[in-house]
Structure 1
C-alpha cells in the first residue's frame, strides 16, 4: 500500500474546528456540537448526542446536492462546497481566535436555508427568541446568557429559527455570551472581530504553527493534521491539553461504554507534549508541561487525580444526562468522569519522560532547574509507592493489580529523574538504584511463560506492553520482548495492523481496536529495524482515518468506521511521534 492508495479508502465523517478556547464538530454544513465558552462547558449544539433535543446550526441548499469538505491549507478552517444542478454554495467555517463564536462566510450561486436551534445545558433549556435588526438573539431564560446571530447578505428571516438566503456573498456570525449586556448587539459590540479580518488572522495563526514544525515526507498531510488536532485540543489560557473534544460518542454503538473526555489527562497530555517536542513546537510543548507542573502536589501523590479541568482544578463528578437519548441511541450520555477517583501510578512516569525529552531537545536546563522541586516530589512519591497495586492506563473501574506497564512507568519516572539529576549536577544514585530494583521486580514477577504479562501472575498480555522498548526499559530484540511481541500479534491484532488494547475488562469483551496501539506497533517495528512494516502499519491506520485525516479513539476494523470520542489526542500524538521517528532513521526514504 502507498499513500496514494489510501485516498479513496477514507470515509467522510464529522469535521473538527477549534480556536484554543473551544471546539465544534460539523456534518455536511451542520454544526452538531459546540460547547461554550470552554471545551468542557455545556454544549449549545448537541445534535450529535440527541438528534431531536440537541440543537444544531445547519446550512443546506434546497433539493439534491453533492457535498465536499476540506481544510483550508494547513489550518482548522473548514471549506464546505455544495454542488447542485443550478450552481454551487461555498461556505468557510471557523472559530475566530479568542472568541466563543462561529463565523460562517458564504458565497452562493443559489438560494439556501439556514436553521439555527441553540439550546442551553445540553438541551435541557430552550431559549427565548428575539428577532432584531440584522439578526436573532437567543436568551437563556434562567440567566443573562445568550447566543446572538448577526447576518450579512441578501436574506429573509422567516422565523426565529429559519433564515432564507438568496444568491450572493455574506456571512453568519454567531457569538455566545455569558452576559448579553456585552454581546454582539450590545453597545460594546463594535470591539469584536470583523469576519473577514478574523478569517485572515485565524488562517495565519494555524499556518504559522505548521510552518514552524519539523518537516516530514511520509504521510505529510496526516502528520500536519495530527499536529493541528493536538493544537486544537489545547486550551490556550492554561496550556491544558484535553483527551478529546466530545462526550459519550460510544465505543460500541448502542452500548454503554460512553465517557466524557473533555478533560486534561496527565498521561494523554504528556503524550501530546512528546509529539509537540518531536515536531519542534517547543513553546507549545512547554505550555503543556507548565500546566501539568502547576497541578503537582509536592506533599502527597504527585498528581492527585488522573485528570483535571482545563483550568487545572478538580474535575467534576460523573453524571448521566437522562433526558438525552445518546448518539445512535447509545445511552447513557455522561458528563464528568469518575476516573478522577482512581489512583493511577503510571502517570508520573509519562510526565517525567516528556519533561526529560523537552530538556534533551531544547537544552533548557534552567527551566528544569526552576521546577526541580517537582522532580524531587515525583521521585519521592514513586520511591515509596511503586510496590502497591493500582489501576492502570486502561482505567478499569474497581480493578487493582500489579500491572506491568504501571511498574515500568514507575521505573521511567525514576530513570528520567536520575538522568536529569545527573545532567544538572544533583545527587541521583538513590533514584537510579531504586529504578534498578523496580526493573528487577518486573523481570522476576512480570514474566510468565517467557513473555511479559498484563499484570503479575497473569498469562494475558495487553497492548501497553508495546511501550516497554519505546521507553527503553528493554531492547526490542530481547528474547522476552520478542516473545511478548509475538503473543500480542497473535492475541490482539484484529486486521490491518489494528489491535485491541486487551481482550476483556470489567465491562466484558472488547469489540474494537484502540487506535493508539497501532502507533505503538509502528514504533516497535522501527526499533526492530523493520521500517517497511512500520510504514505499513501507519498506512493502514491512515486508511482508517476519515476524509479529513481525523482519527477516533477506536475504529471498527471491518468497516474502518470511527468509534468512541473523536478526534482523539492519543492516536494523533502517536502518529506524530511515529512518523518523526521513522524519518530519523538513516537511509530511510518514503
Structure 2
C-alpha cells in the first residue's frame, strides 16, 4: 500500500497495467501510485509510491466509506485489473483498471491514457475520488481547470484531461458520493472526448481484453506453470515501448536493492543486456512481435554508433546521454532516498553488449516467420558490431554488474565476445560468404584460447573459471557459459565451476550475484535472476527434483500479481529493487520451459 500516513508503508504488492506506451502500478487499495507520462521514462505524475509526505498526492485512488477489505485479480490472460472493495455494511464496488490497446483505423491505438471503471456490485456504496497528479517529479500538485464533464490537469509541459460521467464537482472537492451506477473515467490527452464516455470506455475495455487474449493465444507455453508464464510474458510485453521497440529493464526508479543502502537506480531505460534476455525468453514462447520491434531499435542503435563503441543502455527513444540526477521533492520508497533520474551507467564500458546485439539479430537471418528478415546489408552492419567485440574481448570493463569504481577483464564479457564472433561465422556461412565465415570462426577460436588461458583458475581440470581474468573470485554469470553454448554442461570444467559457485554464492534457496565487496559494501540481498540461473544449473546437473523444489519456492515469493522485483532478502524473503524486473520474469519463463513435463504426457 502506498504512502506513509497513519503508519501505512509502501510495499511491492503492486499490479501493473499498461499498453506499451504508458504504464501504471496499482496498489492494494486501488490507488494508481506510479505512472509516468508521456512514456515510461517521463515525469511520474503519479508518484506516491516514492512520496513520503502524503498518500493523498501523486495518486489516483477510489476510497470506499467504511472499507474493510480489498481483493484483486486480473481479467484472464490480460493486464486488465479488477479490484473489489467491500465496506462494513456489505456494500461493494469493482474497479476495472487498464490502458487502452487495440487496433483501430488500421493501426494500434495505445494512447497516453489511464482508464478506470467503477461498478457498484452490492448495497449502496459511498465513494470518494482522490485524483491529485503531480508535476516535475513531485515538485507540486498539478493545477486544474474544469468544464461540465471534464477536468484538465497541468502536469509539467503538457496537459491531461479527465473525461467522465461521474460528478466533476465531487471529484474536485474530494467529496464522498453514493455510487448508484457505473462510473467511467478516461484520463488522457487534452482533447475533447469523442463519443459518449460510457459507451466508448466500455468498448475500449472490450477491445483491449480481446487484444490481449488473442496475443496470449499465440504463445507456446509449457504444460506446467501456464498461468505463471502467461503473467510473466504479458508483463514483459508491457515493458516494451512499442513506438521505438525499446525494452526497459523495469517500470520504476529508485526502489532500493536493500534497505537504506542508496543502491537506488533508475531502470526505466533500455539495457542491451536485459533486453537480450527478454527477447530470448519471449522467443521461446513464440512472441515474435516483441523481437521484431526490438530488432528495429537495435538497427537504429548500431547505425548511430557508426562502428564505434556501443553503450550498455539508452533511453527508449535511443538518446545516449542519460545524465544522473536526484529528485529533491520525493522522499523515496519508505523514505529511503535518493530518487534518481537518469543513470550514469550509460558512461560505462561494458563489452558484453556487443554479443547481446549480435545474438538476437542473428536470428533474423534464419527465422522465416519474420515479416522483415535480415539481409546482406544487415550483415555488413552487424560485422561492425563484431569488430568491436573482437577488438575489446580482452580489455577491462565495468562488467555486467556495472561496478562504478573499478574495471577488470570480465569473463562473462569475453564469452559474450566469443559468442558474437561465433554467431557471425554461422550467419556468414548461411549467406554463402565462406571467407567471412572463416574469419569470424578464427576470431572466435582465438577468443576461446584467451579465455581458457586467463579465466581458468587452476592446474589442468582442477580449478574453476573466475569472474575476471585478473582474479579467482566467482560470480553467478559464469553459469551462463552453457546457455551461450561456450561449454557443455557435462564438461568437467563447468561442473567444477558450478560446484565452486554454489559453495561460495548460494544462501539456502537463494543466489547472490557475487560475494565480494563492491562500491557500496557487501551485497545484502540475493539477485533473483541469479537464483533462476542456479535452478537452470541444477537441472543441467541432473538434480531435477531439487531444481523443481527451488523453482516452486521462488514462485511462492511472487507478489499477489504474480510478479517479482530485482532482489530478495535471502533471510526474510522480502522483495526489494525495481518492480517488475524483466530479468526476474525471464527467469520464470526459462525455468518453466526447462522443468515442465512435456505436452505429450497428456495426449
Query: TM-score scaled to structure 2, two decimals?
Result: 0.89
Shift of 1:547: 1.0
**1:121-140, Cα deviation, whole Å (9 max, x unpaired):** 11113322234312422225
Instruction: Give yes or no for the alignment of 1:104 onto 2:104.
Output: no
Shift of 1:406: 0.7
Match of 1:66 among 61, 66, 69: 69
- 2:428 match: 421
Compared with structure 1, are the counterparts of its residues 585 and 471 closer, same or farther at alpha carbon in structure 2 (3 Å cutoff)? Answer: farther
Instruction: Give yes or no for the alignment of 1:332 onto 2:332.
Output: no
- 1:444 match: 453
CA distance in 1, matches of 2:305, 2:507: 44
RMSD: 2.5
* Contact 1:103–1:174 (CA under 8 A) maintained in structure 2: yes
Instruction: Give yes or no for the alignment of 1:534 onto 2:534.
Output: no
- 2:7 match: none
- 1:559 match: 572
CA distance in 1, matches of 2:589, 2:357: 18
* Contact 1:464–1:501 (CA under 8 A) maintained in structure 2: no
- 1:120 match: 135
* Contact 2:489–2:495 (CA under 8 A) maintained in structure 1: yes
CA distance in 2, matches of 1:372, 1:516: 32
Shift of 1:401: 0.3
CA distance in 1, matches of 2:333, 2:221: 38
Q: How does 1:468-487 map to 2 (within 5 A)?
A: 468-487=481-500
- 1:5 match: none
CA distance in 2, matches of 1:483, 1:562: 31
**1:275-319, Cα deviation, whole Å (9 max, x unpaired):** 121111123212112211221148655552111111222242111
- 1:166 match: 178
Shift of 1:493: 1.3
* Contact 2:358–2:386 (CA under 8 A) maintained in structure 1: no
- 2:85 match: 82
Query: TM-score scaled to structure 1, two decimals?
Result: 0.91
Q: How does 1:443-522 map to 2 (within 5 A)?
A: 443-449=452-458, 450-522=463-535
* Contact 1:106–1:170 (CA under 8 A) maintained in structure 2: yes
**1:181-212, Cα deviation, whole Å (9 max, x unpaired):** xx246xx7889992101111111111111100
- 1:523 match: 536
Instruction: Give yes or no for the alignment of 1:432 onto 2:444.
Output: no
* Contact 1:17–1:78 (CA under 8 A) maintained in structure 2: yes
CA distance in 1, matches of 2:601, 2:408: 41
- 1:42 match: 43
- 1:385 match: 392
- 1:273 match: 279
CA distance in 2, matches of 1:377, 1:118: 46
* Contact 2:149–2:168 (CA under 8 A) maintained in structure 1: no
* Contact 1:307–1:315 (CA under 8 A) maintained in structure 2: no
- 1:92 match: 96
Compared with structure 1, are the counterparts of its residues 166 and 72 closer, same or farther at alpha carbon in structure 2 (3 Å cutoff)? Answer: same
CA distance in 2, matches of 1:368, 1:511: 47
20-29 or 475-484: bigger deviation: 475-484
Instruction: Give yes or no for the alignment of 1:21 onto 2:25.
Output: no
CA distance in 1, matches of 2:270, 2:198: 29
Shift of 1:395: 0.6
Instruction: Give yes or no for the alignment of 1:264 onto 2:270.
Output: yes
CA distance in 2, matches of 1:18, 1:325: 25
**1:431-486, Cα deviation, whole Å (9 max, x unpaired):** 11111111111111112240111111312100111101111111122222112111
Aligned-partner SS, 2:50: coil
* Contact 2:151–2:168 (CA under 8 A) maintained in structure 1: no
CA distance in 1, matches of 2:351, 2:597: 31
Query: Can you give the 5+ residue segments of structure 2 that lack an aligned partner in the other structure?
Result: 1-10, 102-109
Compared with structure 1, are the counterparts of its residues 217 and 169 closer, same or farther at alpha carbon in structure 2 (3 Å cutoff)? Answer: farther
* Contact 2:184–2:198 (CA under 8 A) maintained in structure 1: no
Aligned-partner SS, 1:48: helix
CA distance in 2, matches of 1:586, 1:200: 32
Compared with structure 1, are the counterparts of its residues 193 and 35 closer, same or farther at alpha carbon in structure 2 (3 Å cutoff)? Answer: farther
Compared with structure 1, are the counterparts of its residues 197 and 380 closer, same or farther at alpha carbon in structure 2 (3 Å cutoff)? Answer: same
Compared with structure 1, are the counterparts of its residues 157 and 501 closer, same or farther at alpha carbon in structure 2 (3 Å cutoff)? Answer: farther
561-570 or 305-314: bigger deviation: 305-314
- 2:317 match: 311
Match of 1:232 among 224, 227, 238: 238
- 1:4 match: none
The size of the alignment, in residue pairs, is 571
CA distance in 1, matches of 2:511, 2:392: 34
Match of 1:398 among 405, 416, 420: 405
CA distance in 1, matches of 2:397, 2:363: 26
CA distance in 2, matches of 1:360, 1:548: 36
Shift of 1:152: 2.0
Instruction: Give yes or no for the alignment of 1:241 onto 2:256.
Output: no
Match of 2:201 among 170, 173, 195: 195
CA distance in 1, matches of 2:161, 2:222: 42
CA distance in 2, matches of 1:230, 1:478: 33
- 2:52 match: 51
Compared with structure 1, are the counterparts of its residues 525 and 301 closer, same or farther at alpha carbon in structure 2 (3 Å cutoff)? Answer: farther
Match of 2:163 among 125, 136, 150: 150
* Contact 1:17–1:76 (CA under 8 A) maintained in structure 2: yes
Query: Can you give the 5+ residue segments of structure 1 that lack an aligned partner in the other structure?
Result: 1-10
CA distance in 1, matches of 2:334, 2:164: 33
402-411 or 156-165: bigger deviation: 156-165
CA distance in 2, matches of 1:481, 1:282: 32
* Contact 2:408–2:470 (CA under 8 A) maintained in structure 1: no
Compared with structure 1, are the counterparts of its residues 167 and 158 closer, same or farther at alpha carbon in structure 2 (3 Å cutoff)? Answer: closer
